[in-house]
Amino acid sequence: MSRLVAISNRVAPPSGGKTAGGLAVGILAALRQSGGIWFGWGGKTCHGEPSEPRLERRGNITFATVDISKADFDSYYNGYCNGTLWPLLHFMLGILRYDQAQHEAYQRVNQLFARKLRPMLRPDDHIWVHDYHLIPLAQELRRAGVTQPIGFFLHVPFPGYDVLRTLPGYEHLLRALAQYDVVGFQTRQDCENFLGCLRSAGLGGERDGDGRVTALDRRIRVDAFPIGIDVGEAVQQAEAAIASASVQRLRHDLVERELVIGVDRLDYSKGLPERFRAFETLLARHPASHRQLVFLQIASPTRTGVRAYDEIRHELEQSAGHINGRFAEPDWTPIRYINRGISRKMLMGYFRVARIGLVTPIRDGMNLVAKEFVAAQDPADPGVLVLSELAGAAAELGEQALLVNPYDAVGVADAILKATEMPLAERQARHAAMLEVLRANDIHAWRKRFVDALGA
């Protein structure tokens, strides 16, 4: 069996604890099956040329981490990755910022990864690269003489041509992606957007008879591989967490009220200000909902010190204060806003208690919170998922979730109201159908489909 080499921007070697998160679960499961290397940045910066990768062996997996020079890191990560590519790929051109020096740092970091990884490769390795931080990596590896199969999976959306071409030098991204053997996206629409960009740029993009795509005289596979969750683990965690003191206190505080829950990173793509306005619209349009609903929004900090993220945090704090000041009563606070991280185990317990999951990003590659909410529900008395039609999860769960446009405050408010009034039998039927989809497309099916495609 060929060895698998997985590469991502960040690798956290397991120094005794369990590595969490959907990406980590999928990669680790694939690596345990075949043995291999997980390669990436270890979280440290340095001055000058980074040293050789640090290696940590666990079972049949080697965790290989490199430093990035301090001079390059900020321009690469906060600059080009998160100031340019992230807004571009999420269709948010109003906050896109481009700087040639930052783009050059992005290229240098990818060259660094290729240079440090190349000596570790074996002739029969299969290489699996993850996300927008490392789009040029295959191109750099090919220049270094690597001929092994290389696959790429994009965890975020991919835009259409009219959006992509606002980026100076966008053709470089398309040419770099064409150097992979398998290019995977979350949804079919992302695939079509990519192929449309190739065609519009004159770089190929036509499917052959066997389903592969010709681009720059190479034949590559382009397909959707929707990422999932470990459903069994999520169910187990939710059932266990329901008895915890924190979850029991929340249930006690709710009394007979129903909990609406949102859990997100504090990021402008998650639609949090729009979500707060939608909940305010619900309270304003439907007074009967007063005292009956409590909206708990957990927004864990991310990229602190970046202006756009600091502005969102201040906006949400002001919005929560405004809404509570307008509608709260001595024994009822409509919004509970938490700006810190909560353990995944506790989140699964909160999901179990909640009647409505409010997942309304203004653009998202997949959104695993939607899937975790569904998995955490009690099948005998499940809650309802209100889901943005602009999240990748809508392609899988859309028929059974209540789909909304996150910009439509009235529409989101009406969907929340509909969820509160939904009969038990309908809730059970919707939940069972969504859970069946989650089990069919879980995290293990995701990694198996991609690794099999790479092997083929």
Residue numbers annotated as active site? 155, 364
Which residue in 203, 194, 211, 234 sits closest to 370, CA to CA? 234
Q: In the Cβ-directed half-sphere of 272, how many Cα atoms lie within 13 Å?
A: 31
Length of the chain counted residue by residue: 456
Query: CA-to-CA distance for 353 and 47, rounded, in angstroms?
Result: 49
Residues with Cβ < 8 Å from 369, sequence gap 6 or more?
263, 264, 357, 359
Hey, which bits of 113-251 come out as E strands? 126-130, 150-153, 182-185, 204-207, 213-215, 218-224
How crowded is residue 217: how many other Cβ atoms within 10 Å of its Cβ? Answer: 7
Which residue in 349, 337, 430, 417 sits closest to 382, CA to CA? 430
143: helix, coil or strand?
Answer: helix
Print the SS3 string covering 322-385: HHHHHHCECCECCEEEECCCCCHHHHHHHHHHCCEEEECCCCECCCHHHHHHHHHCCCCCCCEE
16 residue type, one letter = G
Helix, strand, coil percentages for the chain (3-state, nearest 5) = 50, 20, 30
Q: Is 145 left (phi over 0), alpha (psi -120 to 50) or beta?
A: left
The continuous run of DSSP H or E covering 447 comes out as helix 443-455
Q: What angle do CA 270, 274, 280 make, to 5 degrees?
A: 135
148 residue type, one letter = Q
Residues with Cβ < 8 Å from 169, sequence gap 6 or more?
103
Query: CA-to-CA distance for 124 and 330, rounded, in angstroms?
Result: 67
Query: CA-to-CA distance for 337 and 358, rounded, in angstroms?
Result: 14
